[in-house]
Amino acid sequence: MFLLLTVVLSTDGLLCNYGPLQARDHPFPNITTECSPNKRCSFSRGFYGRVHMLSGQGCVAQHLCGSHQTLMYMGVSYNVTYTCCCCDRCNTPPTVDNLIKKLLGVAISPADNITTASPLDCCPDE
């Protein structure tokens, strides 16, 4: 006789892509993190003046979504903006190749259509 045991993992928080705030041209590691229930997936951009210098992804408090704050990184002050979404792994940054294709009006296949996280992507109640 065989006994089949099924384990179902139930989480209250979102599963989000994680990558520390770092120089924007560094690739993100393939890491997933679970957010606490009061947090959202986020893609963060750090600006020095008007120049996009840093990027990060992970979980942020819901009240930070759509906002910005000044953070110090390696002794330099950056204005960091937070773009949030609220479904699993929705905070994938756009690839440079896809941004160029969109700017040029080139058709993008559904598999290539990765966009910056937006609260409208999967947060119908917000």
Inter-CA distances, 86 with 45, 54, 82, Å: 18, 22, 13
Alpha helices (H) along 11-53: none
Confidence of residue 118 (pLDDT cuts 50, 70, 90): very low
91, 43 in Cβ contact below 8 A? yes
pLDDT of residue 13: 84
Mean predicted confidence (pLDDT) in 14-31 = 92
Instruction: Please tell me which residue, 122 or 59, carries the higher pLDDT value.
Output: 59
pLDDT of residue 92: 83
pLDDT digits over 102-112, tens only?
A: 556 555 444 33
Confidence of residue 29 (pLDDT cuts 50, 70, 90): confident
Domain boundaries, the chain: 15-122
- Sign of the alpha-carbon dihedral angle for 36, 41, 46, 49: negative
Single out the residue of 92, 68, 71, 79 nearest to residue 15, CA to CA.
92
Residue type (1 letter), 76: V
The whole-angstrom separation of Cα 114 and Cα 103 is: 14
pLDDT digits over 73-101, tens only?
A: 999 999 999 999 989 999 986 655 555 55
Mean pLDDT (the chain, rounded): 77
- Residue 10 confidence (pLDDT) above 60: no
